[in-house]
Amino acid sequence: MQNYNVSFGNKEIIFVVEQFGSPLWFYDFEVIKKRIGDLRSFDIVRYAQKAAPNVNLLSRMRHLGLAVDAVSAGEIVRALKAGFAPSQIKYTADIFDKEALVLVKEHSIPVNIGSSDMLAQLHEAGIEVPLTIRVNPGFGHGHSQKVNTGGEFSKHGVWHGELEVLAQNAERLGFTIECLHTHIGSGSDFAHLSRVVSAMEGLVPAACKNLNTISVGGGLPVSYKRGKQNNMNLGKYYDMWDNARKRISESIGHNIQLEVEPGRYLVAESCVLAAEIRAVKKMGKNLFYLVDAGFTDLIRPAFYGAYHHISIISRTNKELGKEVDAIVAGPLCESGDVFTQEEGGTVVSRKLPLAQVGDLLVIHDAGAYGSTMSSNYNSRLLAPEILWENETFIPIRKRQTFEQMLENELAFC
């Protein structure tokens, strides 16, 4: 499978930082378009917006024909603001909070239920919407244990052995189960994802005759390490599901649509986090580059031990120095604020050019679970997001201000 690198280069990154300050998120929409194109064989591509929910990205994806997943009331609001029709949105969760239930009712948003309590609450609220059931097939897999969403230790979905009873209850209450859904984890691999096919085929008889769609979930991997090929053969993956779809369609007597629900796959490679080196210092034998972005911006290395390719851009037009071993860390008052660490928190160094204060440090493939997982910890402001589209710089989110950060507290001073 092809890797799509961003089409902007160092010149554009320097320019955008000079215009909008650092740190910032810089997206290339062309990469997202190409990734969407890779999945065109599926009947429905439902974007799991949790990966990068900027409303300006969502509206562009809507124009390209995508449907959208929403895992919270806030994500429903984002999808509506981006212009999605309620029927193009699906609320996927294991609980309803009050706000979500109100929005589902008000807009008749289709729901993907992950617990029998959700069914009861829909019924109590007098809501009649098409139903999907998310099934935990009894196994899961992801790039980290923290993103494995299947098996007995996962909170997600309806346990496969309980599907039949839930489906019967739903029918008895007058709901139509249109879709069966599984999502075993994020950043999985071909071997694990392919196990879902036979699990899904085994589940269909327990659901009901009104199924019109099966959703294969997300989890499609991307390769974060340069030069490392993604082990995912998308053509083979699609064929496997398409064959299953044909068998299922035949067994229930009508045609079934195939839905895929990617998050990471569409956006990961589309974005870099650009930061500035603000200190270069030695700790014994270790060299540290301290930058003005921290895990309050990109939490993946600290939270999952995730690897991101890092490059450096000289701001002085000088050639970058020879390669050295450097540890890249952020500004937070928190020792885990290190971008070069492995799962479990082991700090490691990276071969990087010898750099100096003022040079830019670029963290690549930061589009998925990047900006969206940012926080105000240490009272750091959320960074701006800029889109590179048709060779122009388009701001899609301003830098947060101190006033915005403090607004709800100052209201009581």
Ligand X SMILES: Cc1ncc(COP(=O)(O)O)c(C=O)c1O
Residues carrying an active site annotation: 333
- Given a contact cutoff of 8 angstroms between Cβ atoms, the answer to whether 260 and 215 are in contact is yes
The residue type at 196: V
Residue 386 binds ligand X, judged by CB under 6 A: no
DSSP state of 384: P
From the CB of 93, what's the least distance to ligand X, in Å?
A: 9
Distance, CA of 367 to CA of 322 (rounded, Å): 29
Measured from the CB atom, the residue of 356 and 372 that comes closer to ligand X is 372
Report 329-368 residues binding ligand X (CB under 6 A): 368
Q: Does 137 bind ligand X (CB under 6 A)?
A: no
Phi and psi torsions of 247, nearest 5°: -65, -40
DSSP string covering 183-224? --BSS--HHHHHHHHHHHHHHGGGS-TT--EEE---------
Chain positions 105 to 134 lying near ligand X, rule: CB under 6 A, are none
Nearer to ligand X, 218 or 370 (CB): 218
Give me the residue label for tokens 């320019």: 15
Contact flag: residue 150 with ligand X (CB under 6 A): no
Tell me the number of residues near ligand X by CB under 6 A. Answer: 19
Minimum CB–partner distance for residue 188 and ligand X (Å):
7
Q: Give the nearest distance from C-beta 373 to ligand X in angstroms.
A: 12
With binding defined as CB under 6 A, does residue 220 bind ligand X?
Answer: yes
Is the Cβ–Cβ distance between 22 and 323 less than 8 Å? no
Among 86, 137, 217, 384, binds ligand X (CB under 6 A): 217
Q: What residues numbered 76-95 form the site for ligand X, per CB under 6 A?
A: 92
Q: How far is the CB of 386 from ligand X (least distance, A)?
A: 22
**Cα 334 to Cα 54, 200, 231, 301, 378, distances in angstroms:** 28, 44, 35, 14, 9
Q: How far is the CB of 282 from ligand X (least distance, A)?
A: 39
Q: What angle do CA 332, 386, 226 make, to 5 degrees?
A: 70
User: What mask of x and - would describe binding to ligand X in positions 177 to 206, judged by CB under 6 A?
Assistant: ------x--xx-------------------
Segment near ligand X (CB under 6 A); pick from 53-61, 216-224, 285-293, 316-324: 216-224
CA gap 197, 95 in Å, rounded: 26
Per CB under 6 A, 219 contacts ligand X = yes
Q: Does 35 bind ligand X (CB under 6 A)?
A: no
- CA dist 229 → 4, 232, 291, 350 (Å): 12, 9, 29, 20
Q: Contact between 261 and ligand X (CB under 6 A)?
A: yes
Please give the residue ranges that form the binding site for ligand X (CB under 6 A).
48, 51, 69, 92, 147, 149, 183, 186-187, 217-220, 261-265, 368
